[in-house]
Every structure is written in C-alpha cells, then in structure tokens.
Structure 1
Amino acid sequence: MTFQKRLWDLVVLAIAVFAAAFATAPWFAFRALKAAAQYEDVQAIGELVDFPAVRRSLTAELDETPAAAAPAEPPSLWRDPLRVFKRAIEPIAPPEPKVDRYLTVPGLAALTRGYAPGGAPPAPAKPAAALDQLKAAVAGPHPAIAYWDPNRVRISVKRPGQPAKTTIFTFRRDKLFTWRLVHIRLPVDER
C-alpha cells in the first residue's frame, strides 16, 4: 500500500468520524441533560439549557388567557359590604407561574423521562448483574430524533405506558458541537 493511499484512507476516516460526531452531538446533549437532571448537577443544566428561551416557550404554551369576558363590576360598599372587605384583604401578589415547576431540577428530570413534573415514579434502582443491566438498557421507551437539521434538532420522548403522550425537546446548535435546549413542547392534554 502506498503512502498516498494510506493518507487518503486517513482523510476519509477523519471525515466519517467528524460527520458521525456532528450528527450525534444533539443526542449526546439530550443524554447529558437527562444525566445532569438525574444527578442534580445544576451547573451542567445551566450550560445545557437556555432558560430565557425555554421559559418564553413554556409560558406561551401554558398561557391560560380566559375568553374576552366583560370585566366584573367592582363591589359596592352599599350593596355588598362583605365582598368589598374580602376584596380589600385578599393578596395582591400574582399567582406563581406554572412554568416554574417545569424548570426545576426535578421537573427537568421528570420531563426527560417522559413524565409531567411531579408525576414521575421514582427512578428504578440500578441492577447489579450485567445481564440485568443489559435488559434495563434495552427496555424502552427511548428518546427518538423527530427532526434533524444542521442547526436545530427535535428529540421526542414518549411517556412509558402511554405512547400517545410525547414530550418534544428542541435543541439549537450554538457552536460546532455545542447544543442547548431552547424549547419544550408538552403533550396536548397537559398544556
């Protein structure tokens, strides 16, 4: 074999390795997010999630704007004095946003497993035997790539036991091999 042939083989191998690493980088970013949420690694989660973008997308998804109803007339002291006092002492602070429970470490851990925050069963104990570890690794459901683009990837996670409920994570490429979570689309009945 000549030197040129070996050099050409090396170049082709390097291109193939680069293409495989580039194509699988979002999947590894999702696995890193899942592991960071499972082990409560806040710093890693901060590097993998674009919190302002995810908060905006979830706020729009969870927005419960009531239909255009006529504003209620304020109570009158002469007609309904008890309601006037009740309105005066009720808290003025707005209710806690629904988005906050999704953007916590336990919330992200539940979402990466396919469950709603607070609705995930405890993670199963890691099996000790090699055969049991293999069975646990093969058992589904697994995350799947729903859409792949050089700059944006959507990874879908089906809820165990309910394949109709799918959570979709959208990752955006920041650098050549750096991907960040920018959007979470919840199942239709949980929005």
Structure 2
Amino acid sequence: MNARAARDIDLGRAVFRLIVTLIVGTALAFAAAPFFAFRAVQAAARDGDGHALSQLVDYPAVRQGLRDQVGTEPVAAPAPPDIWTDPVGAVKRAIEPIVPTPRSVEPYLSASGLYALSRGYAPSAAPAGDEGRRPPRLRYWDPNRARFLARPRGEKDPAKSVVFTFERRDWFTWKLVQIRLPEHP
C-alpha cells in the first residue's frame, strides 16, 4: 500500500470519528436539555430575572395548574359549549370575561416563590441557609416531556416533593408547563 492510500484511509477514519462524535454529542445535549432548563429556571428565579423567567416558564399553563391546587374555591370547569349544539352558549362563552386567577396563586409564580419551589419548599417556608445546590431528581423523561422532583433538604418521601414538568418547544428549547405541589396531610 502506498503512502497516499494510507493517508486517505486515515482521513476517512478521522472524518468518521468526527461524525460519530458530533452525533453522540448532539444526542447527549438533546437528552440533557431539560435538566439545563430546570437549572436555568432556578438560577433566573434566584437572581430575580423576570425576562429570563418569561422565556423559560409558560405562565398561563402553570397558573392554571396551580389554580386547581392552591385556589380557595374548587374550580369545576364544565364542558365548553359546542358551536354546533349550542351556538348561543359558545358565543356567550367567547365574549364573557376571563376568570381572574386567585391571589393565592401569585406567590408561587413570583421569582422568590419559584426559587423556593425549585428547592422543594413552599414560597414562604424556605430556610435562608439552603441555597439549592442539590440537583433535581429526574422522575420521567421522553423526547417531548420531562418531570423533575425537588425535595427539601433531608426529605426522603417522594410524596412531599414538588414536581416540575417541562415540555419541549423546539429541538433544544424546553419550557416549564406545570408545577405539582406536594400533598398536605
């Protein structure tokens, strides 16, 4: 074999290794993106960065989920009227005012409230010395949705964890769409 053929084989192997490395790196970045989104929400909430939080959190979806968990009065949503079976009811529903969110939900959506929740605490119950250096525990992952558990320091019971649900919006873009609070006895 001559020197030129050996160089071509070495070049082919180098290109193959580069392509495999890029594919593996892209797959790892795709799989780790929800974890980075959780850490970004936690850091933006800790720093009070409202602009970053608006890009990382789907506030209407999170607010709706918290309304059912925190609201003082239970919200029973009847099935919306169909334009074909009840056209007057459908038009009436379209023009009636939107139900405001209960004030009890807003502390959970503030920057300090989100930071406390990301550490596993209620918005006003986070201790000052706990700075949230523990990584969240992955509860579920698929290509379009990921769930993380945030537990208070020393807590072993997963039922007392705050569950954060992230949804993929683009290849590497994830948004917080739901927060499930722990059950209180």
TM-score (norm 1): 0.72
Render the CA deviation track for 1:89-139: whole Å, top value 9, x for unaligned. xxxxx99532111001110010011100100011458xxxxxxxxxx96xx
Provide the rounded CA distance (Å) in 1 between the counterparts of 2:101 and 2:114.
22
In structure 1, runs of 5+ residues without a counterpart are 67-93, 126-135
2:174 aligned with 1:185, yes or no?
no
Asked if 1:50 corresponds to 2:85, the answer is no
Using the TM superposition, give the Cα deviation of residue 4 of structure 1 relative to its aligned residue in structure 2, in angstroms. 1.3
SS of equivalent residue, structure 1 residue 45: helix
Residues of 2 paired with 1:5 and 1:26: CA distance? 33
Residue 109 of structure 1 aligns with which residue?
Answer: 115
Distance 1:52 1:95, change over 3 A: closer
What's the TM-score, normalizing by structure 2? 0.75
Aligned sequence identity (%)? 44
Number of equivalent positions: 150
Q: Retained in 1: the 8 A contact 2:169–2:175? A: yes
Distance 1:35 1:123 in 2: 16
Match of 2:128 in 1: 122
- Unpaired runs of 5+ residues, structure 2, are 1-8, 75-99
Quote the residue 1:20 is aligned against: 28
Aligned pairs for 1:1-191 (under 5 A) are 2-65=10-73, 96-123=102-129, 140=134, 142-164=135-157, 165-189=160-184
Secondary structure (helix, strand or coil) at the match of 1:30 reads helix
- Secondary structure in structure 2 of the residue aligned to 1:2: helix
How far, CA to CA, are the matches of 2:130 and 2:105 in structure 1? 27
C-alpha separation in 2, matches of 1:153 and 1:95: 26
What is the CA RMSD across the aligned residues, in angstroms? 2.2
Following superposition, the deviation at residue 64 of structure 1 comes to 4.4
